[in-house]
Structure 1
Amino acid sequence: MKYVRIFLKICLGLIALVVLFTVLNIIPVDNTPYQQADFYNETRNRLMALPGPAPAQTPLRAGWARENLTPSFTTPTGGYGARRGKHWTSVHDSVYVKAIVLDNGTNRVALVALDLLITPPTVAEALKKRLPEIGFRWENVFTGAIHSHNTIGAWAPGLVGGLIAGEYDERVVPLITDRILKAIDRAQKQLAPVTVGYTQTDGKSLVYNRLIENGPVFGDIQLLKLQKPSGESAVICAYGGHATVIDMKQYQYLSRDYPGALVDKLEKETGSFTLFVAGAVGSTGPKIDGPDRLAAMAQYADSLSRRIIPALKAIQPAPDSALGMLTLPLTLRDPHVRISDGLRVRPWLFYAVYGDYPSELKALQIGKTVFVGTPCDFSGMLVPALQPVARQKKLNLVVTSFNGGYIGYITPDQYYHLGRYETNDMNWFGPQNGDYFVEMMSGLIRKF
């Protein structure tokens, strides 16, 4: 009986500690209107002080290059769900980093597309230190990712990083960083005059709203073409369909998912160097048919290419010298990881398991098109609120996700209390971020 009493006391003591810890570290959700909050004023002041891009001194020049990212060792796949922590064992299709460097005599910028789930914040931090090796700064680099859930993982330490990308492997971040630097450096050594053209085509029938049944979708396939006098050309393709055609149980394959199949097809049929970047992928999933997901991946790419190729043929690139890059560091509301609709854990717990990475908005103008890059899965339902701002400036607008930070999902504010994956589990920074992001992104667009 003596040992039973000791055991019971230990158990009661542990329960008391758990209860005390919970009481001290569970706090209410902060519903203060964002425009009354310090974080808003800090970011708004930065935005107001941000100068617009300097005028061009020369016509636009561009160069492009790719580097193979496929490692000589296996890694976990970066992509949640049943894939979590499990290594891919065979290469279905290789993964790459692609870069386009642009220069107008005043500004030199790089657009980098990664065949990864996101642009890892760990890689962004490494690039900030190493880009001067090739004459660049982080503020002059615009990154995006294809968002395939079957590519290289192991790039994020910590508990949350492990859940997203598997166990951290110290070889991965230097590998990705090195290949990005090589691609940018090779691209800038191939600068030549280019003309620029933009178009878009309708891809709405190929996606669905995965947050709201029968809800609206932003399904434009957006295309920017650069062409050298030699006829050599490059195409930037942005689209908002989540790259989740491959089933999560098929973690054994390293693959770029449908964006890879699409890029390969476009490069083969058009001869253009082609980059794919995930657009406003939040809330938008691909419509697919049939149980064979690898076959569905090719079919989905075919459906997209049948829309894209005629649109590309209709583009008539024209001379242009407009080029500018703006970076707006974001201050955010404290982390709001919720345990119920109205209660959240204290911010220090979030930082302890995820890390504290900087976040920012980036805007890149190429000719009459402005790309706005976000540090999140940005919901396509927010894009229509931004389009009139771009039209007022006579600019084409392309919104992309995964610009080097990652803060979860940004969705329309009216759905904050909807108990869904995007609005609850992956909303990490509290209410009203939809309107906050739209306001700051609008301000950036107006700078051009």
Structure 2
Amino acid sequence: MLFSHTALAKYRIHKITQFINYAGLNTATASKKKTSRSWYWLLLLLLLPACMVQRIDRTPYQQTDYYQETLASLNSHPATITTGDTLEVGWAKVNITPPAPAPLAGYGKRLGMDYEEVHDTAWVRTFAFDNGQTEAYFVSLDLLIVPMLVLQELEKQYPTLGLKPEQVYLSATHSHTSFGGWGRKIGVKLLSGEFEKEIVQQLTQQIVQSIQLARQNLTPTRVGYGSANAASMVRNRLTKSREDRDTELRFLKFERPDGTTAVLSFFSAHPTTLPSMQPILSRDYPGVLVDALEERIEFAAFSAGAVGSHSAVHFQEAPFGGMEEVGERLATILRHDLHQVETDYIYTLGYNRVPLLLPEPQWRISENLRLAPMLFNWLFGKHPAYVTSLQLGDIVLVGAPADYSGEFMDELESAAAKEGLEVIATSFNGGYIGYVTPAEHYNLDKYETRSMSFYGPHSGNYLTEMLQLLLRQHATAGPALPPTEIN
């Protein structure tokens, strides 16, 4: 007889219960009952692992129901793409820093440690886009991730703004020394500290406020895309390979007629330059980068790129020396190329958000064994996951609900080039499915592929294919021409 994993677990529990009942009904004396209880606990301890531990499912993802369902979802959720008037752009930032003490997020070994002081303020930074036909927003939080509970609360607020969820592209800087307190489940609390409802509520309102302020600041603006080589600043901490890295510092340049300039930058290296047990809140190197840029331009923002498996390279060992070194060097690289990037008015604006169906969780305890999905869900909860996109002319941003590996960027850029597009990938779009890396790395006994790989050997390749298909949707937009020049 064949059983599913869930049915097999229920069957084993049923047989254990049968044995316990049988043992209890057939003991004649108190002494025998005590002995029976001892045997009961021993048997339970012996059989419980059989219910809690399962083998890794290595079924190719193309043969699974979740793959087919996500394909169907993509087909039924075409991207919204409009060509209208000259794109207007607005920007704004809002302070989101809770007063100390509040929990830090980023390292489980902190066990929910509070920060005692603030080294540099955390913000939500938002760009608004409107072409007269539709509007969209890019939101970046100075946080480890975009918390799932905050996403849920935002979706309740979007109708009051006249928005749908797909119109708001969410991202985070991924600082491991920003505040937590935004998760209820035990596993999330381990990484983000004790849950504080007020933090979730305040953060939601602060994001809404940033959207409103950016919307009020809309002005016709020229847009340009730039990319600078920053190979000296990033390493692949998973494979140590110099080839399998995303070495580009990507950025969007926004110029207004009065000369006002804003920059939105992206880099694929973990902001983990600070001591893990230091009770001080900081944005890490993204904060230094943004502040350095704002010394010369009106506004700057940063979003974590494909940071999975990638770390920043630094040599300074002082408590804040590493973050200052990385941030300043990236700012120097970006400023060198910024003036060379040409900008132009664009007219095409697009966006999408598609549900990403997932297999059962496969949280590993060895190369071939995993804990039962029900235990993972008890620890971390069940949350929806999505792939997201935002299109500005021929530039398309794609968002992943994960620590998305920079090793996939060559594939994404190749797919985008075939469609005549530029692509930027970001991580942490409001869901979280762990680290996703190429399937060939799955058996490595590393933190990324063992402790933080939640959904099996093919999750990275599966997610990358969905992002490529999402890109293909945006290729239908055609050239970014003003309405008078179309046809």
Does residue 164 of structure 2 align to residue 137 of structure 1? Answer: yes
Q: Which residue of 2 aligns with 1:380?
A: 406
DSSP-derived class of the 1:442 partner: helix
Distance in 1 separating the partners of 2:151 and 2:131: 25
Structure whose alpha-carbon radius of gyration is higher:
2
Structure 2 counterpart of 1:305, one-letter code: A
Structure 2 counterpart of 1:89, one-letter code: E
Compute the displacement of 1:230 (Å).
2.1
Please tell me whether the aligned partners of residues 81 and 248 of structure 1 are also in contact (alpha carbons under 8 angstroms).
Answer: no
DSSP-derived class of the 1:291 partner: coil
Does residue 248 of structure 2 align to residue 220 of structure 1? Answer: yes
Please tell me whether the aligned partners of residues 353 and 386 of structure 2 are also in contact (alpha carbons under 8 angstroms).
Answer: yes
Does residue 265 of structure 2 align to residue 237 of structure 1? Answer: yes
DSSP-derived class of the 1:387 partner: helix
Q: Which residue of 2 aligns with 1:278?
A: 304
DSSP-derived class of the 2:178 partner: coil
2:88 equivalent among 32, 37, 61: 61
Structure 2 counterpart of 1:96, one-letter code: W
Structure 2: tracts of 5 or more residues without a match: 1-29, 475-487
Distance in 2 separating the partners of 1:428 and 1:5: 45
Distance in 2 separating the partners of 1:206 and 1:15: 55
The 10-residue stretch of structure 1 (292-301 or 148-157) with the greater mean CA deviation from structure 2: 292-301
Distance in 1 separating the partners of 2:67 and 2:297: 46
User: How does 1:170-319 map onto structure 2 within 5 Å?
Assistant: 170-215=197-242, 216-250=244-278, 252-268=279-295, 270-319=296-345
Q: Which residue of 1 aligns with 2:136?
A: 109
Compute the displacement of 1:344 (Å).
1.5
Please tell me whether the aligned partners of residues 90 and 128 of structure 2 are also in contact (alpha carbons under 8 angstroms).
Answer: yes
Compute the displacement of 1:25 (Å).
2.5
Q: Which residue of 2 aligns with 1:369?
A: 395
Compute the displacement of 1:10 (Å).
6.0
CA shift digits 1:305-332 (9 cap, x unpaired): 1101011111221111111001111001
Distance in 1 separating the partners of 2:131 and 2:191: 39
Distance in 2 separating the partners of 1:307 and 1:11: 68
Please tell me whether the aligned partners of residues 91 and 255 of structure 1 are also in contact (alpha carbons under 8 angstroms).
Answer: yes
Compute the displacement of 1:352 (Å).
1.2
User: How does 1:88-167 map onto structure 2 within 5 Å?
Assistant: 88-167=115-194
DSSP-derived class of the 1:241 partner: coil
Q: Which residue of 2 aligns with 1:409?
A: 435
Distance in 2 separating the partners of 1:149 and 1:242: 9
Structure 2 counterpart of 1:232, one-letter code: T
**Percent identity among equivalent residues?**
36
DSSP-derived class of the 1:180 partner: helix
Please tell me whether the aligned partners of residues 122 and 156 of structure 1 are also in contact (alpha carbons under 8 angstroms).
Answer: yes
Structure 2 counterpart of 1:217, one-letter code: R
Q: Which residue of 1 aligns with 2:455?
A: 429
Structure 2 counterpart of 1:413, one-letter code: A
The 10-residue stretch of structure 1 (26-35 or 138-147) with the greater mean CA deviation from structure 2: 26-35
Please tell me whether the aligned partners of residues 81 and 351 of structure 2 are also in contact (alpha carbons under 8 angstroms).
Answer: no
Q: Which residue of 1 aligns with 2:15?
A: none
2:48 equivalent among 4, 8, 21: 21
Distance in 2 separating the partners of 1:359 and 1:70: 27
CA shift digits 1:194-241 (9 cap, x unpaired): 111111001111111110123421010001011222222221100011
Distance in 1 separating the partners of 2:92 and 2:343: 21
Distance in 2 separating the partners of 1:54 and 1:271: 30
DSSP-derived class of the 1:201 partner: strand
Compute the displacement of 1:82 (Å).
3.6
Distance in 2 separating the partners of 1:85 and 1:9: 42
Please tell me whether the aligned partners of residues 100 and 118 of structure 2 are also in contact (alpha carbons under 8 angstroms).
Answer: no
Distance in 1 separating the partners of 2:87 and 2:301: 19
Please tell me whether the aligned partners of residues 412 and 464 of structure 2 are also in contact (alpha carbons under 8 angstroms).
Answer: yes
Please tell me whether the aligned partners of residues 77 and 84 of structure 1 are also in contact (alpha carbons under 8 angstroms).
Answer: no
Q: CA RMSD in A?
A: 1.9
Please tell me whether the aligned partners of residues 265 and 301 of structure 2 are also in contact (alpha carbons under 8 angstroms).
Answer: yes
Distance in 1 separating the partners of 2:318 and 2:35: 54
Please tell me whether the aligned partners of residues 365 and 450 of structure 2 are also in contact (alpha carbons under 8 angstroms).
Answer: no
Compute the displacement of 1:290 (Å).
3.2
Does residue 370 of structure 2 align to residue 344 of structure 1? Answer: yes
Compute the displacement of 1:56 (Å).
1.7
CA shift digits 1:328-377 (9 cap, x unpaired): 11001111111222122221111111111000000111122111100000
Please tell me whether the aligned partners of residues 329 and 358 of structure 1 are also in contact (alpha carbons under 8 angstroms).
Answer: yes
DSSP-derived class of the 1:290 partner: coil
Distance in 2 separating the partners of 1:12 and 1:307: 68
TM-score w.r.t. length of structure 2: 0.88
DSSP-derived class of the 2:101 partner: coil
Compute the displacement of 1:76 (Å).
1.2
Distance in 2 separating the partners of 1:422 and 1:319: 42
Please tell me whether the aligned partners of residues 56 and 107 of structure 1 are also in contact (alpha carbons under 8 angstroms).
Answer: no
Compute the displacement of 1:11 (Å).
6.0
Compute the displacement of 1:4 (Å).
12
Distance in 2 separating the partners of 1:116 and 1:446: 30
DSSP-derived class of the 1:143 partner: strand
Please tell me whether the aligned partners of residues 54 and 106 of structure 1 are also in contact (alpha carbons under 8 angstroms).
Answer: no
Does the C-alpha gap of structure 1 residues 24 and 105 become closer, same or farther in structure 2, counting only changes over 3 Å? same
Number of aligned residue pairs: 445
CA shift digits 1:270-298 (9 cap, x unpaired): 22311100000001011111321302211
TM-score w.r.t. length of structure 1: 0.96
The 10-residue stretch of structure 1 (366-375 or 8-17) with the greater mean CA deviation from structure 2: 8-17
Q: Which residue of 1 aligns with 2:7?
A: none
Distance in 2 separating the partners of 1:372 and 1:326: 9
Distance in 1 separating the partners of 2:102 and 2:59: 42
Compute the displacement of 1:435 (Å).
1.6
Compute the displacement of 1:386 (Å).
1.2
Distance in 2 separating the partners of 1:163 and 1:68: 25
Please tell me whether the aligned partners of residues 85 and 165 of structure 1 are also in contact (alpha carbons under 8 angstroms).
Answer: yes
Distance in 2 separating the partners of 1:303 and 1:5: 75
